[in-house]
Structure formats: structure tokens, C-alpha cells
């Protein structure tokens, strides 16, 4: 990925999207200009929507990541949502356009892709991390 700045957080970190919805993404990124969310110093929780969320699929999280969290992140304006499937070695990338997620594409481990927020990404780097 290109050097884009911002902050990366890795689970466990509670993200408070609203009073009724608290999630724990596997990885999240906040852009340098990300004034729309911040870490609450008293609770240690992030309040507001991150710019990018990455969820790693597992047998127990697949439905929640593909359906429930997908809708929550879309509703709360998470600008990019990546689903990483370690079993199939695939990364599916959605980008928010006019309040709805639009599928950018699905990438195999041997591919390089350009993500709107962070630039060029070698998919293999996500599987070796």
C-alpha cells in the first residue's frame, strides 16, 4: 500500500457506531483527516465510523460479516469494506457511493489491486500478515 498516513487499529477495539450498535472489526483504518471518529479516552472505545474496515471471514463469523456488519457499515458510512477469505485466499472490496456499497471486485492472493482510499495493494501481503 502507498504511504497514506492515518491510524490503523487491530481487534480487539470496540467501535461505537451508535447507541445500539457496537462492533469489533478485525482491522480498521482512520484517514488522516478522520475527524468523524475518535477514541473516547474514558472508555477506550472508538466513537464514529472508521474510513476502512477489514473483516477476516471464519466459519463462525461469515454470515455476520457478510450480512449484518455489511449493512451496519453501509448505514454508518464506512467508506470502504473489505472481506478477506483466508480459506479461499480472496479479498472482496466494496466502496461507498451515494450511501450504498458498490462492489469494486474480488481479488485473488496473486493479484494487485487499487483501492480508492489506500491505493495499490498486493493481496498476498494481507494473507502473509
The answer to whether residue 21 is domain-embedded is yes
What is the residue range of 83's domain? 7-128
119 falls within a domain = yes
User: Would residue 62 count as lying in a domain?
Assistant: yes
CATH number at residue 64: 3.90.1570.10
Residue 2, in any domain of the structure: no
Number of domains in the chain: 1
Q: Do the domain assignments include residue 1?
A: no
Per-residue pLDDT of the chain (129 residues; tens, 9 = 90+): 445 788 999 999 999 999 999 999 999 999 988 667 888 878 889 999 999 999 999 999 999 999 999 999 999 999 999 999 999 999 999 999 999 999 999 999 999 999 999 999 999 999 886
Within-domain flag for 52: yes
Residue 81 lies in a domain: yes
Other CB atoms closer than 10 Å to residue 45's CB: what's the count? 15
- Strands ordered across the beta sheet of 15-18: 21-23, 15-18, 46-47, 38-39
pTM of the model: 0.92
- Residue positions counted in the chain: 129
Amino acid at each position: 500500500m502507498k504511504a497514506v498516513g492515518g491510524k490503523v487499529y487491530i481487534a480487539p477495539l470496540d467501535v461505537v457506531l451508535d447507541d445500539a450498535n457496537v462492533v469489533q472489526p478485525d482491522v480498521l483504518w482512520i484517514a488522516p483527516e478522520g475527524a468523524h471518529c475518535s477514541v473516547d479516552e474514558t472508555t477506550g472505545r472508538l466513537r464514529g465510523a472508521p474510513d476502512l474496515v477489514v473483516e477476516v471471514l471464519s466459519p463462525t463469523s461469515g454470515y455476520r460479516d457478510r450480512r449484518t456488519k455489511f449493512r451496519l457499515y453501509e448505514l454508518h458510512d464506512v467508506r470502504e469494506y473489505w472481506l478477506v477469505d483466508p480459506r479461499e485466499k480472496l479479498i472482496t472490496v466494496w466502496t461507498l457511493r451515494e450511501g450504498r456499497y458498490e462492489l469494486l471486485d474480488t481479488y485473488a492472493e496473486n493479484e494487485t489491486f487499487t483501492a480508492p482510499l489506500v491505493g495499490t495493494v498486493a493481496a498476498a501481503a494481507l494473507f502473509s500478515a
